[in-house]
Structure formats: C-alpha cells, structure tokens
A = this chain, B = another copy of it.
C-alpha cells in the first residue's frame, strides 16, 4: 500500500511560511498556522472521543475552520462526511444515518439544525471552533488506499449514495491537474465553490500538495471575487458557467491582469456565446468533465484547443482512461454511447451499497451514466448528462428525489419532474403533478420548501390528468418536455 507523509505536516516542513489560505479581508494563514490549528483541533476532536476510522460529519459553509477541520480529521484518521448546508434537516438526517456517523461538527450558524439532528439521531455534536489546547501527536503518514471522505451524490433512482474517496484519489487528481495546467511558483487559486462538494474540496488538497495559496471565499459574491482577481494575483479559479457569466458582466470593458491564467469550468457546459465572449476578452476558460466519483475533473480541455474544440470537455487527464460504450462494445469516433472512466482518481465504490457498486462498475471501469462521444481527434463531447440530471447553478438536481418527496404529500397521486432552461441558473426543475384531492400550487410549493433544499424546489407546477409512462411504467420525460413546449407556445 502506497504511503506518503501526512500532507499538511510535509507541506509545513517544506514551506512553513508560504501563504496557505488568504481570506477576502486579507487575513492570511501560512502552512505553519494551518498545521498548528489543525493539530490543535485534532487534539480537541480526540478529546471528544473521535477516533481513527470514525465517520465524522461536518456541517459548514466555506470558512478557514472548514479547511482546518478537514486536516484535523486526517490527523486523527477519521473519515470526513461533508454535508451540503443547503439540504433540509430530513435530507441531512438521511446522510448521517446512512453513513453511520459517530459525530457531527457544526458551524455556529447551523447550531439549531445540529441540535435537532442530535435529538433525532443521538449523534455527538461538536461546534467548529479551534480551541486553545496543545497539539495532537498524530500519525505522520497517510495510507493512500484509506478512505478520507464520503460525499453524497444523488442518482437517477433511490436515495443519495455516499461516494467514498481515498487519499490516493485526491493525490492523483492534484498531480493529474498539474500535468495539464502546469504549476507556477506564483500560482494562487480562488476557491468559492462549496468545499462540501468535491470541486471545492479538491482545491484544498491542491493547496497543500502544491504549496499554493488559496483565496478562500465563503460563497460566490461577484464584487468581492472580481476585486480579488483584479488585485491579488489570482491565477486560476474553479467556476461553474453562471459565475463566468456574472464575472464577465462585472468585468465590462476591463481586462484581467496578465497573471490570471484561466477559469477551470466544471458543473455542466457553458454556452458557446459565453465562451466566445471570454475568448474576445482574452480570458481562457478550460471546460472540464468530472463528478464526485472521479474526485473532481477527469477530463479538461487544454488551452490550445479551447477555441478549435468549443463545446468539448477535452481529453482524460494523464493517469485516466475513458471510453464510449454502446451495448457492450467500444464505440468508434463520433458514435454516441455511455461514458466509461477508469484510473487512480476513481472512487473505490459507494459506501455500503453493494447493489449500486455492482451496477456502476464493470471491472475497474466506472459507468458514468452520461452520454457522449469522442470526435476524430479524441476530444470528448458530453451530449447528455446522467439520465435526467438537472444542473442548476452548478448543483446536481435529480428529478427522482423531487418526485419521491412530492409524492409524500397528501393529495398528490403522481409527479414527474424535468429540467427547463433558465437564463440565470442554466436549468431549473419543473413539476407535472397528478392530484387525487384539492391541493393548490401554493400548498405544494410550501411543502417542497419544507422538504427540499432550495435549489431543488420546482420553479413551476403543471397539473395534468396523468403522466406519460412507457410499458414498464417509467416516466417518459421527453413527453413532459413536449407538453411544456405546448404549454409555453399556447
């Protein structure tokens, strides 16, 4: 089993005084500060009884302490279950229970939620605060096959699944990215994606593995981020399309400094017009393709092909393999099929889901469920996301979950959800509802808001007599989309 030094210990040894994390107000933490705080927080966790191998949940928005906690959990050898703070209490409770967590660390603003979860699940709760205690004397090594995190992802059917990621997945991802983007001594990465998603989390690991400062933002605030890019030497920023759009508006007639290298674009494609606008502004945008199961970007379009291959997600990064499969056969160039991926950044499997693992893996290949093709030069074009997936402002929304929740409401007999285009969010969910009792749209809306994260709440409701279903009773979503077009044309 491959072993490395604990990454933060090693980094604090190699470049102790290098900036690790810089906040928008210019508060700066070096790698030595980060190590110091992480070892103290680890000691505190250890005093609470958290142990090697425990599953510990973290409920927090982006903040310095989040980063400290991620490293502290690695010092005690616990597995971090990172929770999406936008989920409802019942969605959170499901994940805590499913992951069998021993503890829940919460940011103070989520105290109420944490206390309710504690009552319900009898889980040990610990506020996310760095205490004034001594350091934990910890194991100074990481075994790369060990699971470091469980991140939940929804699927086309059933409940969310916990994607296990190992230290090795993160390390290979970080080095694969370097082999694509290069590594400059002045690199600074802007992090405003949620760190409870793999896209944000992976930047933390890049920081410590590369010895690179991260400009850490709680959330995407276009003015603050514009200011950082213009004034603080940011070289790379991970984004979703919506962010690029807003930043380009904010930039107006201006120009980014020459030190700015690129936007690394994940979470669904950007429109051709946006990419062309960026090209005209001399702002490189590298479209990527990846998912939680691949520890973030798996394919990325290189700079040289940004313009000649607009719409492509590029090629699988150096250590990864990708193929297109249709009916068990590998497709030729330009033939559409399911995207299969393989390599050392791929999850070892879903937590406690033998069935899902059997469905998802074909030997060492992960079947993504996404459809795409490779063109004659081997560039990936994703033509359809995981069956039915709606990507709204960079968040993955699965119709099946919304349908399952709404069907739990009295008066609702059946529900079908589809994604509809939206100027701001890319896509938003819309629900077709079959009633068996008198219920108003307002009632449904209130019920949805109480039970679903905000970004999953449908933006429109349509009452229908029945849903189009095929012979095996699966909802025919393309027919729902046709209904929608008729509705809008009317």
Please report A residues at the B interface, Cβ cutoff 8 Å: 2-5, 10-11, 13-15, 141, 168, 175, 178-179, 182-185, 209-211, 302-303, 315, 318-321, 342-344, 364, 378
Partner of A175, one of B175, B211, B364: B175
Chain B: minimal CB distance from A229 (Å): 21
Chain B: minimal CB distance from A195 (Å): 22
Structural contact, B344 and A14, CB atoms closer than 8 A:
no
Measured CA separation A342–B175 after assembly (Å): 20
Instruction: Using known A-B contacts A10-B318, A14-B318, determine if residue A179 contacts B210 with beta carbons closer than 8 Å.
Output: yes
17 extra A-B contacts, CB within 8 A, seeds A13-B315, A14-B315: A2-B168, A3-B343, A3-B344, A4-B318, A4-B319, A4-B343, A5-B321, A11-B318, A141-B321, A175-B175, A175-B178, A178-B178, A178-B179, A179-B209, A179-B210, A182-B185, A185-B303
**A302 proximity list for chain B (CB < 8 A):** 14-15
Chain B: minimal CB distance from A118 (Å): 40
**A319 proximity list for chain B (CB < 8 A):** 4-5
Structural contact, B179 and A344, CB atoms closer than 8 A:
no
In the complex, which residue of chain B has the Cβ closest to the Cβ of A4? B319
Chain B: minimal CB distance from A123 (Å): 35
Structural contact, A3 and B342, CB atoms closer than 8 A:
yes
Structural contact, B209 and A378, CB atoms closer than 8 A:
no
Structural contact, B13 and A179, CB atoms closer than 8 A:
no
**A320 proximity list for chain B (CB < 8 A):** 5
In the complex, which residue of chain B has the Cβ closest to the Cβ of A172? B2
In the complex, which residue of chain B has the Cβ closest to the Cβ of A168? B2
**Which 10 pairs show the lowest CB-CB distances between chains A and B?**
A175-B175, A182-B183, A4-B319, A183-B183, A2-B344, A5-B321, A182-B185, A178-B178, A13-B378, A182-B184
Measured CA separation A302–B211 after assembly (Å): 13
In the complex, which residue of chain B has the Cβ closest to the Cβ of A344? B2
**A3 proximity list for chain B (CB < 8 A):** 342-344, 364
Measured CA separation A11–B65 after assembly (Å): 40
Structural contact, A211 and B2, CB atoms closer than 8 A:
no
A-B contact pairs, 28 of them (CB 8 A): A2-B168, A2-B344, A3-B343, A3-B344, A4-B318, A4-B319, A5-B318, A5-B321, A10-B318, A11-B318, A13-B315, A14-B302, A14-B318, A141-B321, A175-B175, A175-B178, A175-B179, A178-B178, A178-B179, A178-B183, A179-B209, A179-B210, A179-B211, A182-B183, A182-B184, A183-B183, A184-B184, A209-B318
In the complex, which residue of chain B has the Cβ closest to the Cβ of A342? B3
Measured CA separation A182–B187 after assembly (Å): 10
